[in-house]
């Protein structure tokens, strides 16, 4: 029993975001009477799904020692391109198109970073601009709306009372966890982030695995785009603006190091949930919209300050 | 030291206040027009003794959906929504309908869901008015530039439609450039600078909001052309009214956003008191 408790305390210390979740949950339950209800908890998870899924891709990128600033724009591009297919009534094809666009954008990032020997920050910054511009051009600045019900089910449907975005969130979470813990790719991601030279010298095709990581990030951004388009029954050319920073924040809140080699997907899930709960709580409490970002920034600082240096 | 910092920040966070009853979801507070709308709503609420909670969607339909779901969870009695997009808002309105919460829309309309009453300005009519005013100022002859708002927003579409349709009535007026500056003052400056490179001999600028118009004024001033070019804006925000008084801008189309916000709260309050809205048709606020 003592051992379990101690294990739990160690886990808490390594996951300041979880401590934050517990603290903020207790505070909000006392302050508001609408926070602690099944509906609102489901509400928070549903709102968090998009950021968390992007965060899982970003986690792998950051563990590998990189960064992906293009995720918000890639989300918009994949949603925009697939929206034109979707509005024609082809749900399955539309989803496929979105995933292909996401993967292609990721492959482009990975290729430029590895074969072009460029900094991930610069490459993905460029992709962020290019993808946003292509989205605006492709959609001619106009939103595309009204998709088949079989598609909007992704964003609005429920299975056994659980909203689809949450089911997708958990599926992607398990997939990401499996990739990082149980596959060779996962092992190499940590190893590349820890020491890229050593990994290369031990005969591993580092370039190949780095490209995979950016492809995964692009595909996860596309999945988020599908959920977003499904929830709103509309794709907007401005989708995902600024999401890359929130995605990075969730990863860092989750205890990952921007230097690479360190991080977990469950940490990222905690980070995303913490940000989601804070946003939800501020709306429930009626915090002035002008100061909401200040609160968000303060919480990020608190969580990072609480994290002990190892 | 770390612990002290953490404690201080938590204390700071707990000192923020909270309210309820009427929920107002604004499309963006990064634009004085909607800030005035919000202020009008808050003033009216204070006057009527009603509680109001304001959320800001930052022009992001996904955030707006989340905000509205939060307000529903919070248990507001009525929602006033200023949609970021007429299609994308439908899901949120349906959610409110399902929760039995009545919805009033302001400024932009919704393309679905059950809406109690829509309080709006007629943007097409405003665009027509701008064209007429501008044409008269340049004696129905010359080269005109149009600065377009955020592509895809209904305000940009409708104002542009009214303006361009009316402009066709004047054969001697030519629309030489039409570029987007995203309803943004800094972009209005940059885009106008670029347009002036290509078209140094323009006679008038119509900007689809005052922010862009004021940006254009700066570009014209820097180029030494402010005296020769007529600038017409839209929204009548305080800065623009002052620019009109100072002779920098020729005019701006007044929309009375504060009045729209105030009316929305009044209607919401009346509905909660009496269970009915006494103006069953769309209300137009155009000046």
CATH of the domain at B23: 3.40.50.2300
Longest CA–CA span in chain A (Å) reads 62
Judge: A143–B55 Cβ closer than 8 Å, yes or no: no
Residues B26 and B109 in one domain: yes
Q: Are strands B251-254 and B230-235 parallel, antiparallel or unpaired?
A: parallel
Q: Would you say A29 and A36 are in contact if contact means Cβ atoms under 8 Å apart?
A: yes
Q: Is residue A4 assigned to a domain? A: no
Q: Would you say B127 and B232 are in contact if contact means Cβ atoms under 8 Å apart?
A: no
Longest CA–CA span in chain B (Å) reads 73
Q: Is residue B2 assigned to a domain? A: no
Q: Is residue B116 assigned to a domain? A: yes
Q: Is residue A6 assigned to a domain? A: no
Q: Is the dihedral angle over the CA atoms B117, B121, B123, B125 positive or is it negative?
A: positive
This complex has an ipTM of: 0.71
d(CA A105, CA A95): 16
CA atoms lying within 13 Å on the CB side of residue B24 = 35
Residues B132 and B249 in one domain: yes
Q: Is residue A156 assigned to a domain? A: yes
Q: Which residues of B touch A (CB under 8 A)?
A: 2, 5-6, 9-10, 12-14, 16-20, 26, 29, 53-56, 59-62, 65-67, 69-71, 73-75, 85, 87-88, 90-91, 111, 150-152, 180
The pLDDT value recorded for residue B286 is: 36
The alpha-carbon gap from B209 to the nearest alpha carbon of chain A, in Å, equals: 18
The pLDDT value recorded for residue B66 is: 92
CATH of the domain at A179: 1.10.3470
Q: Is residue B77 assigned to a domain? A: yes
Q: Would you say B24 and B52 are in contact if contact means Cβ atoms under 8 Å apart?
A: yes
A221: tokens are 């951004």
d(CA A170, CA A48): 11
Q: DSSP readout, A122-188?
A: HHHHHHHHHHHHHHHHHHTT--EE---HHHHHHHH-EETTEEHHHHHHHHHHHHHHHHHHHSHHHHH
Q: Considering just the CA atoms, what is the radius of gyration of chain A in Å?
A: 19
What is the SS3 assignment for A197?
A: helix
B170: tokens are 């004047």
Residues B24 and B85 in one domain: yes
Under-70 pLDDT residues of chain A: 1, 307-310
d(CA A248, CA A259): 13
B259: tokens are 């009045």
B174 lies in which domain range? 123-254
Residue A234: DSSP 8-state = E
Residues B189 and B269 in one domain: no
Residues in contact with A264: Cβ distance below 8 Å, sequence separation at least 6, in sequence order: A59, A180, A254, A255, A256
Domains identified in chain A, total number: 1
Residues B240 and B279 in one domain: no
Among candidates B13, B19, B91 on the partner chain, residue whose Cβ is nearest the Cβ of A233: B91
Residues B91 and B129 in one domain: no
d(CA A92, CA A45): 25
Judge: A302–B9 Cβ closer than 8 Å, yes or no: yes
Q: Is residue B1 assigned to a domain? A: no
Residues B145 and B189 in one domain: yes
d(CA B244, CA B72): 42
Residues B113 and B148 in one domain: no
A80: tokens are 């925009």
Q: Is residue B209 assigned to a domain? A: yes
The alpha-carbon gap from A187 to the nearest alpha carbon of chain B, in Å, equals: 34
Residue A33: DSSP 8-state = S
Residues B53 and B115 in one domain: yes
Nearest CA in chain B to A227: B62
Q: Would you say A75 and A228 are in contact if contact means Cβ atoms under 8 Å apart?
A: yes
Judge: A280–B16 Cβ closer than 8 Å, yes or no: no
Q: Is residue B9 assigned to a domain? A: no
Q: Mutating which of B1, B13, B41, B161 best tests the A interface, going by the most A Cβ atoms within 10 A?
A: B13
Domains identified in chain B, total number: 2
Residues B62 and B48 in one domain: yes
Judge: A285–B17 Cβ closer than 8 Å, yes or no: yes
Q: Considering just the CA atoms, what is the radius of gyration of chain B in Å?
A: 21
Residues B220 and B133 in one domain: yes
A118 lies in which domain range? 36-306
Residues in contact with B265: Cβ distance below 8 Å, sequence separation at least 6, in sequence order: B22, B24, B40, B41, B44, B45, B48, B50, B52, B80
Q: Is residue A150 assigned to a domain? A: yes
Q: What is the 3-state secondary structure (H, E, C) of chain B?
A: CHHHHHHHHHHHHHCCCCCCCEEEEECCCCCHHHHHHHHHHHHHHHHHCCCEEEEECCCCHHHHHHHHHHHHHHCCCEEEECCCCCCCCHHHHHHHHHCCCCEEEECCCCCCCCCCEEEECCHHHHHHHHHHHHHHHCCCCEEEEEEECCCCCHHHHHHHHHHHHHHCCCCCEEEEEEEECCCCHHHHHHHHHHHHHHCCCCCEEEECCHHHHHHHHHHHHHCCCCCCCEEEEEECCHHHHHHHHCCCCCEEEECCHHHHHHHHHHHHHHHHHHCCCCCCCCEECCC
Judge: B9–A301 Cβ closer than 8 Å, yes or no: yes
Q: Is residue A5 assigned to a domain? A: no
* Other CB atoms within 10 Å distance of the CB of residue A248: 22
d(CA A264, CA A60): 8
What pTM did the predictor assign?
0.78
Q: Would you say B112 and A259 are in contact if contact means Cβ atoms under 8 Å apart?
A: no
Q: Would you say A71 and A221 are in contact if contact means Cβ atoms under 8 Å apart?
A: yes
Q: Would you say A224 and A107 are in contact if contact means Cβ atoms under 8 Å apart?
A: no
Note down pLDDT in tens along chain B; length 287 residues.
777 777 777 666 655 444 448 999 999 888 888 988 999 999 999 998 888 999 999 888 999 999 999 999 888 999 999 999 888 999 999 999 999 999 999 988 898 899 998 887 778 888 999 999 999 999 999 999 999 988 767 788 889 999 999 999 999 999 998 888 888 888 888 889 888 888 889 999 999 999 999 999 989 988 899 999 999 999 888 889 889 999 999 999 987 888 889 989 988 988 888 877 755 444 344 33
d(CA A25, CA A32): 10
Q: Is residue B84 assigned to a domain? A: yes
B195: tokens are 């347009």
Q: Is residue A17 assigned to a domain? A: no
Q: Is residue B4 assigned to a domain? A: no
The pLDDT value recorded for residue B147 is: 94
Residues in contact with B38: Cβ distance below 8 Å, sequence separation at least 6, in sequence order: B24, B26, B29, B54, B261
Residues B174 and B201 in one domain: yes
Write down the residue that tokens 């792998």 correspond to.
Answer: A60
User: Which chain B residues touch A303 with a CB distance below 8 Å?
Assistant: none
């Amino acid at each position: 029993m003592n051992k379990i408790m101690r294990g739990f305390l160690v886990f808490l210390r390594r996951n300041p975001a979880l401590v934050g979740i517990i603290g903020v949950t207790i505070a909000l339950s006392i302050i508001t009477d609408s926070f602690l209800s099944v509906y609102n908890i489901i509400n928070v998870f549903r709102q968090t799904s998009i950021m968390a899924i992007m965060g899982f891709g970003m986690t792998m990128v950051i563990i590998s020692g990189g960064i992906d600033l293009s995720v918000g724009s890639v989300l918009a591009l994949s949603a925009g391109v697939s929206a034109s297919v979707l509005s024609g009534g082809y749900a399955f094809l539309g989803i496929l198109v979105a995933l292909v666009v996401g993967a292609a954008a990721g492959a482009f990032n990975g290729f430029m970073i590895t074969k072009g020997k460029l900094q991930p920050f610069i490459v993905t910054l460029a992709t962020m601009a290019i993808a946003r511009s292509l989205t605006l051009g492709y959609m001619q600045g106009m939103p595309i709306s009204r998709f088949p019900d079989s598609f909007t089910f992704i964003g609005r449907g429920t299975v056994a009372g659980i909203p689809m975005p949450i089911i997708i969130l958990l599926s992607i979470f398990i997939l990401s966890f499996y990739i990082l813990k149980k596959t060779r790719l996962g092992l190499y991601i940590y190893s590349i982030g820890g020491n890229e030279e050593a990994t290369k010298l031990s005969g591993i095709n580092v370039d190949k695995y780095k490209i995979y990581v950016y492809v995964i990030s692009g595909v996860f951004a596309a999945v988020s785009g599908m959920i977003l388009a499904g929830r709103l029954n509309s794709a907007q050319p401005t989708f995902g603006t600024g999401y890359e920073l929130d995605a990075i924040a969730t990863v860092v809140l989750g205890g990952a190091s921007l230097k690479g080699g360190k991080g977990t997907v469950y940490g990222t899930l905690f980070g995303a949930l913490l940000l989601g709960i804070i946003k939800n709580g501020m709306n429930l409490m009626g915090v002035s919209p002008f100061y909401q970002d200040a609160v968000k920034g303060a919480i990020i600082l608190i969580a990072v300050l609480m994290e002990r240096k190892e | 030291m770390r612990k002290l910092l953490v404690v201080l920040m938590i204390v700071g966070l707990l000192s923020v206040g909270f309210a309820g009853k009427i929920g107002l979801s604004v499309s963006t507070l990064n634009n004085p027009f909607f800030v005035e709308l919000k202020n009008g709503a808050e003033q009216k609420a204070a006057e009527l003794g009603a509680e109001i909670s304001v959320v800001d969607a930052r022009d992001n339909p996904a955030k707006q959906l989340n905000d509205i779901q939060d307000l529903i969870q919070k248990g507001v009695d009525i929602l006033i929504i200023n949609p970021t997009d007429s299609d994308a808002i439908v899901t949120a309105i349906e959610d409110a309908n399902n929760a039995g919460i009545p919805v009033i829309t302001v400024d932009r309309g919704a393309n679905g869901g059950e809406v109690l009453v829509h309080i709006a300005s007629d943007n097409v009519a405003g665009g027509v008015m701008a064209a007429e005013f501008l044409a008269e100022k340049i004696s129905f002859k010359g080269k005109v530039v149009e600065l377009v708002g955020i592509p895809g927003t209904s305000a940009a579409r409708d104002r542009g439609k009214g303006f361009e349709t009316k402009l066709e009535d004047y054969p001697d007026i030519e629309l030489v450039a039409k570029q987007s500056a995203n309803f943004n003052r800094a972009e209005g400056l940059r885009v106008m600078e670029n347009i002036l490179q290509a078209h140094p001999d323009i006679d008038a600028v119509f900007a689809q909001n005052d922010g862009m118009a004021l940006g254009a004024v700066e570009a014209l001033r820097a180029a030494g052309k402010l005296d020769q070019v007529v600038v017409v804006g839209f929204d009548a925000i305080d800065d623009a009214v002052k620019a009109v008084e100072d002779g920098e801008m020729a005019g701006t189309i007044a929309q009375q956003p504060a009045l729209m916000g105030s009316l929305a709260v009044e209607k919401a309050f009346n509905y909660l008191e009496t269970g009915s809205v006494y103006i069953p048709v769309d209300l137009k606020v155009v000046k």
